[in-house]
Structure 1
Amino acid sequence: MINDPFFYFCAIPAILIFGMAKGGFGGGIAVVSVPLMSLAVSPVQAASILLPILVVMDAVALWSFRGQWDKANLKIILPGAMLGIVIGSIGFRYLSEDMIRILIGFIAVAFCLNYWLKPATQMQRGPDRLRGSIWGAVAGFTSFGIHAGGPPINIYLLPQRLEKSLLMGTIAIFFAVVNVVKLIPYSLQGSFDHTNLLTAAILMPVAPVGVRLGYYLLHKVSEQLIYRICYFFLFVVGVKLLFDGLLGLFS
């Protein structure tokens, strides 16, 4: 297993944040997790350690939001996500660690800028097969490589202004299916070696704590304050990963 204390200093908050997002608190802030862990290990190893933990989180989230989901949207976005996973399983193997750092950093910075600069009001939309298929595929692709499928699927779902529990239940089912399917290509690519699995097992107890904490805080704490704090740190981490990736790519 990994013995570096700095790794656990990064990994435990990353897993708690991801779990809180799964529990409905903070939504897109889960995108900070792989960038944060990537400060201590490679992005590829961070994603490999995190995936089994995400499956446990999904189980807790499904129980928390049981019976609450939008079938019409799931029928649209899940097939697109499967295509995105296939593309990701083929494409990500050709990317170097520096290129993946650049991709993660770009997504993190772009997501922060979109959050800070987007219009306060947006036109309400309904389910749309073309848009849903496209964003579902993008979510499957980014979720495969760096577990960052939240931003693309939120871009599709949030303008529909679904009731909060219905929204979170739909997202919970979507990522439960996506993450279970991702286990197949991750296994075939040898991502689950002894070190990664043992490290994931040690961190596993943090997963349900994060999900239940997020579910509890959903109605107790100002979500806007947490968003501001997390997006600030996500932006800082994203800029650092962009810098490190570009430096390594062109040095």
Structure 2
Amino acid sequence: MSPEYLYYSCAIIAVILSGLAKGGFAGVGALAMPIMALGVDPVRGAAILLPILILQDAVSVWAFRHSWDRHILTVMLPGMAIGVAIGYFFAAAVSEIAVLGVLGAISTLFGLQRLWVERGGAIVLPSNSADWVGVFFGMASGFTSQIAHAGSPPFQMWVLPKRLPRDMLVGTTAIAFATMNWMKVPAYAALGQFTRANLLATAMLAPFAVMATFAGVTLVRRVDAARFYTLIYVLMVLLGFKLMADALLA
């Protein structure tokens, strides 16, 4: 497959996965960046996906704008901002190969963590853990989100033990990640990634994301969720290993 066809194939698959995640298959979107990185350098791929994520966030925030936890956002958003900044400086200071290796490591760890959780394992924090713990997990969420658009696991580790009502959990998550995605805009702009070519690629791919979002809403009620997620997370681990191997052998 030529580099151009590989890029477009990976990009379309990535935005479809992102759309399915917003349509109800939560967690599937974390596979988007590892697939995108097979066809384009990871920093450029993340920049192409970012405006699509921001558009999708707007719908979630509007839907749950009245249900969110002020304390969680007050604690985690500063940590997320620090994590995004660390991710920016990392991407600016190292080579594309190093970013690829870190993306592979994040993907592998994310997939293994989700497989463990699916089988009943979990890192259980106290529901009243100190705010500095929330800041730390916010930093981890910001870093992994800046590098791989995969900030959910650290966020969930601190927030889920608090057992928020469903709508408040969804609303708090939507606002936190929408805000963090806007934090990443200056970082990617500083990295010189909002080029005409990248924005045109975003515009071309956006319809696939929208269609996939609606498809996710329909399919989520018909698919065997357990087998589906297991397959996704296994693929994530395998892709993570491949990206790390590519980085080591480059």
- State whether TM-score is above 0.5: yes
Shift of 1:126: 2.4
Residue in 2 that maps onto 1:8: 8
After TM superposition, the structure 1 stretch with the greater mean CA deviation from structure 2, 121-130 or 227-236, is 121-130
In 2, are the aligned partners of 1:126 and 1:160 still within 8 Å (CA)? yes
Instruction: Indicate how the Cα distance of structure 1 residues 79 and 124 shifts in structure 2: closer, same or farther if over 3 A, else same.
Output: closer
Determine if the alignment matches structure 1 residue 208 to structure 2 residue 210. Answer: yes
In 2, are the aligned partners of 1:56 and 1:207 still within 8 Å (CA)? no
Shift of 1:157: 2.3
In 1, are the aligned partners of 2:12 and 2:208 still within 8 Å (CA)? yes
Specify the code of the residue in structure 2 equivalent to 1:65: F
Residue in 2 that maps onto 1:147: 149
Distance 2:137 2:125 in 1: 17
Distance 1:215 1:67 in 2: 22
In 2, are the aligned partners of 1:139 and 1:153 still within 8 Å (CA)? yes
1:101-120 matched pairs, under 5 angstroms: 101-118=100-117, 120=120
Instruction: Indicate how the Cα distance of structure 1 residues 223 and 211 shifts in structure 2: closer, same or farther if over 3 A, else same.
Output: same
In 2, are the aligned partners of 1:23 and 1:64 still within 8 Å (CA)? no
Residue in 2 that maps onto 1:65: 64
Determine if the alignment matches structure 1 residue 97 to structure 2 residue 99. Answer: no
Shift of 1:41: 0.7
Q: Deviations over 1:23-52 (max 9, x none)?
A: 44223x322111101111111111111111
Specify the code of the residue in structure 2 equivalent to 1:117: W
Q: Structure 2: give runs of 5+ residues left out of the alignment.
A: none
1:42-191 matched pairs, under 5 angstroms: 42-118=41-117, 120=120, 123=124, 125-126=126-127, 128=129, 129-191=131-193
Shift of 1:205: 1.5
Distance 1:115 1:213 in 2: 23
In 2, are the aligned partners of 1:73 and 1:127 still within 8 Å (CA)? no
Residue number among 192, 195, 200 corresponding to 1:193 in the alignment: 195
Q: Using structure 2 for the length normalisation, give the TM-score.
A: 0.87
Specify the code of the residue in structure 2 equivalent to 1:246: L
Specify the code of the residue in structure 2 equivalent to 1:223: A
Specify the code of the residue in structure 2 equivalent to 1:138: A
Q: Deviations over 1:181-229 (max 9, x none)?
A: 2111211221111111110110112233333444455555443232112
- Count of aligned pairs between the two proteins: 245
Distance 2:212 2:60 in 1: 10
Instruction: Indicate how the Cα distance of structure 1 residues 209 and 166 shifts in structure 2: closer, same or farther if over 3 A, else same.
Output: farther
Q: Using structure 1 for the length normalisation, give the TM-score.
A: 0.87
Specify the code of the residue in structure 2 equivalent to 1:82: A
Q: Structure 1: give runs of 5+ residues left out of the alignment.
A: none
Residue in 2 that maps onto 1:239: 241
**CA RMSD after TM alignment:** 2.3
